[in-house]
Structure 1
Amino acid sequence: MGEKEMIEHAHVEHPLDGKEQQELLTLADIMEKNKPNPWGPGYLKLYLMSGLIFLCSTMNGYDGSLMGSINALPNYTKYYGLPEGGSVSTGIVFAIYQIGMMVGSVFIWMADWRGRKMFILIGVVGVCIGTIVNATAKTLDVFIFGRFLLSFFATFAQTASPLLLVEIAPPQYRGTVAGTYNTLYHIGSIIATSTVYGAHLHLADKGNLDWRLPLWLQMVCPGLVALGVWFIPESPRWLIAKDRHAEARDFIVKYHANGDPSHPLVTLEMEEMTRNLKEEGLTHWKDFFDLSVFVKTRARRYRLMLNLAFSWFGQFSGNNVASYYLPMLLENVGVTDTNTQLLLNIIYALTGWIAATAGSRFHDLVGRRKMFLSGTAGMAICLAITAGTAAKFVQDGSTTASAASIAFIYIFGVVFSFTFTSMQPIYPGEVMSNDMRAKGMGVFQLTAGTAGFVNTFAAPVALRDIGYWFYVFFVFWDCFEFAFIYFFFVETKGRTLEELNEVFEARNPRKESLKIRKRRGEHAT
């Protein structure tokens, strides 16, 4: 080991303090003068590994569009004796997925205990088992149980995946790399809607194959993850917490500094992670039920508030209603042909994926707050126009109003995808400290599951009973979201996860997060 490496190693084992700590470069300093090549060999390998983890995100998208699509198939509803509409008949089949998520969220702490990789593996294998139960179910009760089993284990994989990505992503590209994860929600949706469309078009006269086949294909992506997760490195923060410093440093050198052990980013990240984890640690199975980690200081309560708020907003802005019940929304404005509904479902998913993928990059360029604020304003406007044109169609059957209503349902989907989709599981993880993050992701899943449950269980009844007034409710709700985000949400762009500690310790975290940081201890507006 060279002299410079020995000095850096000493910094890892003996964190700086006092005056020396004030001179430690920040991420902003390093990116200004010594930015690593984002297309270097280490980064390319990291992107490839991240791509495999992204496949876990397809599971929610696949399920949402799968159920929304097969719910429009006569063979499916006839087989299980499901009448059209109604909260009991349709809602419970959808909502059981959210119930499984909420139950699964209780076990998220195991990702701190046994590691992110192991938790992902357990999750994807469980999803494959749930898929088999689902696809072979002869009764509605077994079908519902299979959906519960599937969502329970999907929660494991879908919580550990963004948790791992947030912690392995280069800090300067965290929004792009980790944010791309949730964009594959739309890939899952595209696969599901295309499969159902093709199966219904060619297999509708072959018994129940038009809806059984798409159910079987639900295990493809988790199956690929189960085969490849063995080759993914573990989170460097988890390694440091388990006193495996050398492995953590090797990871940062290889994947964040393109193999350069003398790069200042290596020193910065190891220094910050080691110091922070020494002070806070990770969750252990013995202290899982100790929830004081969320509330024992003002800064932690603020972090929890943002986690809860964004977890709810991500599922309760009108988006879940559109993704699960798009065929029903289309029927409300005059599109009743099954094949047309399925084709429009595919287009909705495709436009959403393109928008979400672009948005994941913009979160690192523009910033989280600006994206969230523009998104909530845009969604409120889209839903207001959708409500108005839907009302016009209901009153006089105007085909122009019907077309306009459909168009703005799609524009709403694009706006939500561009500004919210990529950050849905990422921002709740970013705002948590290291010792809060695993439990915080459990809170995220529990909150998102609750919001999704309310949406998917109530939506069929609301759409049937109050029609376009359901859109009006979300117009006012999105206006409330806009105000909340403006006054409370912090900007996480351009900081390491550990540098965010300083933001939350400030008297006004929102204002502090908008300051530009240079050397530690210096601030400039």
Structure 2
Amino acid sequence: MSEDLKILPKTSWKVYLAVVFASIGGFLFGYDQGVMSGILVMPYWIHYFNDPDDVRRGFITSILLLGAFAGALFAGPLSERIGRKISIMVGTVIFWLGTSMQTGATSDGLLLAGRFIQGISVGIYSTNITVYQSELSPPHLRGRAVSLQQFSIVFGIMVAFWIGYGCAYIQSDASWRIPLGLQLAPSVLLFCGCFFLPYSPRWLCSRGRYDEALHTLARLHSNGDIDDPYVRQEYDEIMEQIKFEDEKAVKSYAELFRNRSIRKRVILGMGIQTMQQWIGINAVLYYAPFIFRSAGMTGTLPSLLATGVNGIVCVVCTIPAILFVDKWGRRNTLLAGGAGMGGSMLIAGSLLKVYPYVEGGDNNTSAQYGAVAMMFIFSASFSFSWGPIAWIYPAEIFPTRARAKGASLATASNYIFNFVIGQITPIMIENIAFGTYMFFFATNVICGLIVFFFYPETKNRSLEEMEILFGGDEADAIQTVAARKYDGANLEQTEKHQVADDGHSSIEKS
């Protein structure tokens, strides 16, 4: 038997608790997506805002994304200065302002301003929460932890769909004001809970708070034991990279593009977030009632009901990603999901081309409901693949000195193209109908090819070991620390200590 020793990764309920609670920010973003989808077809909202046309409706929906674009760019420098946790709290205060303005809106201007301000908070949330989750999680659970962000998003969408469906029966302006106002409750819970969440150990090290970082790692992974081998190895890897980064800190967004290794990662991070929009998911989520109407589900309540079912599909089908994405890997999961999405769009478009819905005409109900079923398959395919992984990949590939700004640029890319999709989708549905589905079939094929040829696999690597994968400047130093061995005396002592604390050893003889 070899004398080499390998430190096994840790699994701690404290890590799970922190990353689950932080994902409330994802719930808030998802809730807004879902609630606006329902509100857009509510009669009292339509009457109150003077029956907006497709272009105006698209802008009311999408202006939140312009705010999110600005918030994402602001989130990087903010996170580096005050930390991931405090940034989330700042985003929550901004969220309160934007939500209150929307709920009490008496004019287009107030509604638009509220959505833009709320969007700023969404950009801060989605940048910092995924970075926070990735920095707290051990490598073998990082995909699962960051997947919780996507699960929270789709869970928020589902909850909003059903609240919107119930409120559609209210015969007053409360039918749309109540769903908007309810967002405040989970945001207050997130703000208060942040007081009890730990700081990111990697951020603490980057600010020179080394002792606090070591004790935070120990509390998260070993019940406070700072001499635990896994804690020491994690701390040593972080410190090795921090020493290097003190000399080469990224002080601006422009500096991200001067280093070849980091530039490549910026392109990959921005690319995967951009592609997540061009595959068509938010076209389906934002305008699901209109898509279902185009397939023959006329009337406000039937289309909202179908939208609510779609929300359930998204939630259920995100669960496999949470459980297995660290086993399946990033690339294979993206390719499988893309195949499902592209195929469903192709079939739906073909059915609606041959059997288009004609109001009052002789319609093929089976074909049109088949197209609706394809939208459910599309959502299911997205939910276990592109949904979570587009958030996981940018959060894990950057070194500490560039992680906040790199993830910030990637997230900003998501929102600016989300805005574009929000603008063009209602026009496409209105004017080219089945062609909308064919367009997104083509984009899924293109995005699949890009992933196949350009995206490396990143599963089960520590955040510091990404330097080895991408050939970063400090790869050699990280490799040395990652390969550190422990002698037999350390093995025996650690096994006894771990059995006493945890009931099992976290060291395995290789």
1:24 and 1:86 mapped to 2: Cα distance? 65
Q: Once structures 1 and 2 are overlaid, which stretch shifts more, 319-328 or 302-311?
A: 302-311
Partner SS, residue 266 of structure 1 = helix
Deviation at 1:248, TM superposition (A): 1.2
TM-score computed with the length of structure 1 as normaliser: 0.86
Deviation at 1:451, TM superposition (A): 1.0
The one of 317, 342, 348 equivalent to 2:310 is 348
TM-score computed with the length of structure 2 as normaliser: 0.88
- 1:289 paired with 2:252, answer yes
2:326 and 2:223 mapped to 1: Cα distance? 21
Corresponding residue of 1:30: 7
Deviation at 1:449, TM superposition (A): 1.0
Corresponding residue of 2:298: 336
1:94 and 1:104 mapped to 2: Cα distance? 17
- 1:60 paired with 2:29, answer yes
Corresponding residue of 2:271: 309
1:207-232: CA deviation from partner (whole Å, max 9, x where unpaired): 20111100101222211101110110
In structure 1, the gaps of 5 or more residues are 1-22, 510-517
1:222 and 1:167 mapped to 2: Cα distance? 23
- 1:460 paired with 2:426, answer yes
Deviation at 1:235, TM superposition (A): 0.3
The one of 409, 412, 422 equivalent to 1:443 is 409
1:350 and 1:282 mapped to 2: Cα distance? 49
Deviation at 1:290, TM superposition (A): 5.0
Q: Which amino acid aligns with 2:413?
A: T
- 1:80 paired with 2:49, answer yes
Deviation at 1:24, TM superposition (A): 9.8
Quick one: structure 1 residues 250 and 191, their matched pair in 2 at CA, closer, same or farther if it must change by over 3 Å? Answer: same
Corresponding residue of 1:100: 67
Deviation at 1:162, TM superposition (A): 1.1
Contact 2:398 2:466 in 1 (8 A): no
1:51-104: CA deviation from partner (whole Å, max 9, x where unpaired): 221110012211111111011111101100123x522x2111011011101111
1:66 and 1:132 mapped to 2: Cα distance? 15
Quick one: structure 1 residues 290 and 348, their matched pair in 2 at CA, closer, same or farther if it must change by over 3 Å? Answer: closer
Q: Which amino acid aligns with 1:344?
A: A
RMSD, aligned α-carbons: 2.3
Deviation at 1:354, TM superposition (A): 1.3
- 1:478 paired with 2:444, answer yes
Matched residue pairs, number? 472
Contact 1:121 1:157 in 2 (8 A): no
Contact 1:283 1:438 in 2 (8 A): no
Q: Which amino acid aligns with 1:228?
A: G
Quick one: structure 1 residues 107 and 283, their matched pair in 2 at CA, closer, same or farther if it must change by over 3 Å? Answer: farther
The one of 213, 227, 230 equivalent to 1:265 is 230
Quick one: structure 1 residues 142 and 71, their matched pair in 2 at CA, closer, same or farther if it must change by over 3 Å? Answer: same
Q: Which amino acid aligns with 2:196?
A: F
**Within-5 A mapping of 1:114-513:** 114-201=82-169, 203=170, 205=171, 207-281=172-246, 288-289=251-252, 291-292=254-255, 294-394=256-356, 397-505=363-471
Deviation at 1:506, TM superposition (A): 8.1
Q: Which amino acid aligns with 2:234?
A: E
1:179 and 1:264 mapped to 2: Cα distance? 28
Corresponding residue of 2:479: none
In structure 2, the gaps of 5 or more residues are 476-481, 486-510
Partner SS, residue 491 of structure 1 = coil
Contact 1:392 1:398 in 2 (8 A): no
Following TM superposition, where does structure 1 have runs of at least 4 consecutive aligned residues deviating by more than 6 angstroms? Answer: none
Q: Which amino acid aligns with 1:429?
A: A
Identity of aligned residues (%): 28
